Structures are given as structure tokens and as C-alpha cells.
Amino acid sequence: MKKIILSLLLGITALTAAAQTETKKPHKPLVEIELACIDSMHIMDEAAYAKFEPVYREYAAQRQAIRREIRASKKAMRAEGITDADAKAELDKMLAGQVKLAELSQQYADQFLTILTPQQVVKVYRVHDVLRNRLMNARRAKRAAAEKNKQ
């Protein structure tokens, strides 16, 4: 357990350090970072990882597409002068996207369980949650610093 936590912290530290560099270089997609972290933490053996990786990539691509739909609806709802009918339509789209996201998670959790043990699946989801939260916190800090510099 200590190795897992240490590996996760090292991955997060490296990610944070990379996020803090000022040079604009293309960043790795989140799925690449997640898979690298999952692999480095030795959550599963190589044979299981070979089966898991393509399924996880497929899941991540579908998850990202649904999240983009949700973000687009949220952005449309923030528009100036949006009518009640448009706001209701965008709200319905956003909520439908959230339902699709939950259904997708359930579908792929079932697929992951054919490859991994329940404990391994929990660790995979934990890696995703920790990395995503860390990235969001880094973005917030960057925005706050930019706002502070504007003043």
C-alpha cells in the first residue's frame, strides 16, 4: 500500500511540476497520464494490463466525448440573453449527458471486472480521481495567479 501511495504521489508531483512550467508545449492527454500512472503503480500484471489498456482507452474516449457535450451545454447556459426555452433545452442536454456518463461508467466497470478484481478496479478509479482533482487544482491555482498578476 505504501508503494502505491508513493508511486501515486511521485506521479502527481511530476504532473504538478510539468503543469507549473511556463513554456507552452503540447501536453499529454489525461488518458496517457492515467495509464502511465496505473502501469507504474503495478495495480495489475502485464497480461491483465495488455487486456485492460485498450478497453480503458475506449472508455476514456467515450467519457471525454460525453464530457465535451456537457461542457458545451454549460457554456451555452452561461450565454448572455439566453431564452427560457434555450436554457431548458441546454439544461436537459446537460442532465442527459450526466446520465449517459453514469451509464458509461457502469458499463465499463462491468467490463473492467471481467479483467480485474474489484479492488484493482477501485484503484484504477482512484488514480483517475486523484489525477483529475490534481489537474483541476493546478488549473485553478494558475488562473488565480493570473488574476492576481492582472491586479
- Note whether 53 and 84 are within 8 A (CB): no
- Note whether 131 and 37 are within 8 A (CB): yes
The residue-averaged pLDDT of 89-115 equals 95
For residue 71, the one-letter residue type is R
Higher pLDDT, 109 or 150: 109
Can you give the pTM of this predicted structure?
0.73
Q: For residue range 18-27, what is the model confidence (pLDDT) as tens digits? A: 555 545 666 7
Q: Which of 62, 70, 67 is nearest to 111 (CA)?
A: 62
The torsion angles phi and psi of 147, rounded to 5 degrees, stand at: -65, -40
Q: pLDDT over 70 for what percent of the chain?
A: 83
